[in-house]
Amino acid sequence: MGTTRWIPILMVCAAAAGGCGHAVQTNVEHFANLTDGGGYDRGLVICLSGAGGLTGEVDRFRQGLLDGGIPCAIETFEWSSGWVLGDQTDLSANKEKARQLARRIEKYRQEYPKRPVHLIGVSAGTGLIVWALEDLGPDYSVDNVFLIASSLSSQYDLSAALKNVSGRLYNCYSAADTVLALLVPLTGTVDRNSGDSGGLHGFRPPENADGQTKVLYEAKLLQTAWEPKDRAYGHDGDHLGGTQPAFVRECVASVVCPPSLHAEPSNDAAAATVVAAAGQN
């Protein structure tokens, strides 16, 4: 769905009632496998939609990852209430849902301690990812994170989240994103700030950031601006352009969960893989 179709959705919700957020429930905790139910012995990718969950972005994530040859299990965290404005503005509900995401990550880590975990989210869903990272228990972490068109404040302090990322936190942003440029200033960022979003011009360390925070940003935060060449992958610089399957395939799949990171699952499954490969030679 293009940016122009987001505008009426947000405006209708805003006009209907400033209290849309009060309708949001915190019991939206369903994790659904988007593939065939397998792949957990090779790793896990969890995908989060934006506010409202109305635009098919998770399905596009799934398709792009599969097109990129990802062997992992791919799950969606169905966190949205279906209300665009409510999802964007109900901070307490969103942080409760983020805690549920953190518990899911920890459970997977307990079951598959040596397998990678990656997170991908768009717009308001990126806020839940960051808060889940902050809420992870001691000795838990994820491998890589992709934030696309984040509606989190550009000066939100990412240091606590970055400490629980063993690889990189990739931020894909676009100055051409009219949803973040024109509408989010009216609703506020997902962390309830009045400043600009990290998905518009990138994240910046807080003004009072200490040396350790700056080191974390330099070491683990990798930010990529939209460029016209990305149109070749279906990304026109709009709010959901970074969820297009071709963009996910070319620019996300190879980093988030490359097959080279996945050792053979072990035991019988590993042996079957070796035998099948030998039979093709």
Instruction: Tell me how far CA of residue 164 lies from CA of 45, 117, 144, 226, 254, in angstroms.
Output: 16, 12, 10, 26, 21
**List of domains in the chain:** 30-279 (3.40.50.1820)
pLDDT digits (tens, 9 = 90+) for 40-72: 999 999 999 999 988 899 999 999 999 999 999
Per-residue confidence (pLDDT) for residue 257, from 0 to 100? 56
pLDDT digits (tens, 9 = 90+) for 214-240: 999 999 999 999 999 999 999 999 999
Q: What mean pLDDT do residues 136-159 have?
A: 96
Query: Which is more confidently placed, 73 or 4?
Result: 73
Among 204-213, 258-267, 268-277, which stretch is predicted with the lowest mean pLDDT? 268-277
Is it the case that residue 271 has pLDDT exceeding 90? no
Query: Which is more confidently placed, 144 or 252?
Result: 144
Q: What is the pTM of this model?
A: 0.83
Q: Which residues contact 3 (CB under 8 A, 6 or more apart)?
A: 177, 178, 179, 238, 239, 240
Is it the case that residue 15 has pLDDT exceeding 70? no
Average pLDDT across the chain, whole number: 84
